[in-house]
């Protein structure tokens, strides 16, 4: 490092310079460079403007997350109340997740499930999700779809800092998913159509939960199938689809 800072050294120091935490020597070198460099001064001005520009958007995002969490939590509370009354609407394997500290993807899945099993879920075209759930999610035109083997398509709807995410999946008629092992847990909620999962026929409103280490290879009915997945962790492929 020379007597004067280069642009690269100044840029690396700008954040600490702006926060007032640079030691005296680097502070003076940064200040001297800024005095003589219009480009670095412009960058510093941009850094100083960012909090004011990002503040409204950040507050809006936090407010939306709080709204989603509150509304989904209400539905989750109703589901837990029904469990306490003996109504077996949630797979026993998923109850531990629900009764602990469920993340946002699990809350939204439970909220969707509650609407489906009570037959009061008007689907929002063109996706078979309850309209009030769609209203909580980012606009459908912003979903990023990924194409998989055999015509399968999926889009991530939301995620949680704890590592889980909620996916909307479409599997075409008579297709099959390759056998795989879960290194985390997975909950599947069928929205439309049907599938067979390890010998269990699953249709609209059915919720299947797979714990850590479980293996399966779902087969899709001739109707095709739309479903939600709340997953945590990754999967290990065990072979090609049968």
pTM of structure: 0.64
Taking residues 6-34, what's their average pLDDT? Answer: 81
Residue 178 has pLDDT above 60, yes or no: yes
List pLDDT tens digits, range 204-229. 989 999 988 999 999 999 999 999 99
Nearest to 236 by CA among 197, 180, 188: 180
List pLDDT tens digits, range 149-159. 889 999 999 98
Q: Give me the pLDDT at residue 193, please.
A: 93
Displacement of CA 135 from its chain's centroid (Å): 16
Taking residues 110-133, what's their average pLDDT? Answer: 78
Taking residues 176-189, what's their average pLDDT? Answer: 91
Between CA 176 and CA 180, with CA 177 as vertex, the angle to 5 degrees is: 145
Considering the chain, what percentage of its residues have pLDDT values greater than 70?
A: 77
Q: Facing residues of 190 across strands?
A: 227
Q: Name the average pLDDT for the chain.
A: 80
The lowest-confidence range among 34-43, 67-76, 169-178 is 67-76
List pLDDT tens digits, range 124-177. 668 899 888 888 888 888 899 999 888 999 999 998 888 899 999 999 999 999
Q: Band of the pLDDT at 32, cuts 50, 70, 90?
A: confident
Extents of the domains making up the chain: 11-52, 88-237
Q: Give me the pLDDT at residue 88, please.
A: 46
Q: Give me the pLDDT at residue 194, please.
A: 95
Taking residues 80-96, what's their average pLDDT? Answer: 60
What's the CATH fold of domain 88-237? Jelly Rolls (2.60.120)
Q: How is the chain classified by DSSP, letter by letter?
A: --SS--HHHHHHHHHHHHHT-S-HHHHHHHHHHHHH-HHHHHHHHHHHHHHHHHHHHHHHHHHHHHHHHHHHHHHHHHHHHHHHTT---S-HHHHHHHHS---HHHHHHHHHHHHHHTT---EETTEEEEHHHHTTSPPGGG--EEE-GGG-EEEEEEE-TTSEEEEEEEE-TT-BPPPEEESS-EEEEEEEEEEEETTEEE-TT-EEEE-TT-EE--EEEEEEEEEEEEEES-EEE-S---
Q: Give me the pLDDT at residue 195, please.
A: 95
């Amino acid at each position: 490092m020379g007597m004067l800072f280069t642009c690269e050294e100044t840029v690396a120091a700008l954040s600490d310079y702006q926060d007032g935490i640079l030691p005296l020597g680097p502070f003076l070198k940064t200040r001297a460079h800024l005095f003589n460099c219009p480009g670095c001064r412009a960058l510093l001005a941009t850094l100083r403007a960012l909090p004011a520009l990002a503040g409204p958007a950040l507050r809006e995002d936090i407010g939306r997350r709080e709204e989603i969490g509150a509304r989904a939590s209400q539905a989750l509370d109703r589901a837990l109340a029904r469990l306490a009354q003996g109504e077996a609407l949630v797979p026993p394997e998923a109850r531990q997740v629900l009764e602990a500290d469920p993340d946002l993807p699990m809350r939204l899945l439970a909220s969707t499930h509650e609407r489906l099993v009570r037959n009061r879920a008007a689907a929002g075209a063109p996706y078979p999700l309850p309209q009030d759930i769609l209203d909580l999610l980012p606009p459908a035109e912003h979903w990023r779809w990924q194409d998989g083997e055999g015509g399968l398509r999926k889009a991530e709807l939301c995620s949680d800092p704890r590592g889980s995410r909620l996916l909307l999946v479409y599997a075409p008629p008579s297709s099959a998913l390759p056998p795989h092992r879960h290194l985390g847990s997975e909950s599947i909620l069928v929205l439309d159509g049907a599938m067979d999962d390890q010998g269990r026929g699953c249709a609209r409103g059915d919720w299947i939960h797979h714990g850590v280490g479980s293996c399966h290879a779902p087969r899709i009915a001739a109707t095709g199938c739309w479903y939600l997945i709340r997953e945590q962790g990754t999967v290990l492929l065990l072979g090609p689809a049968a």
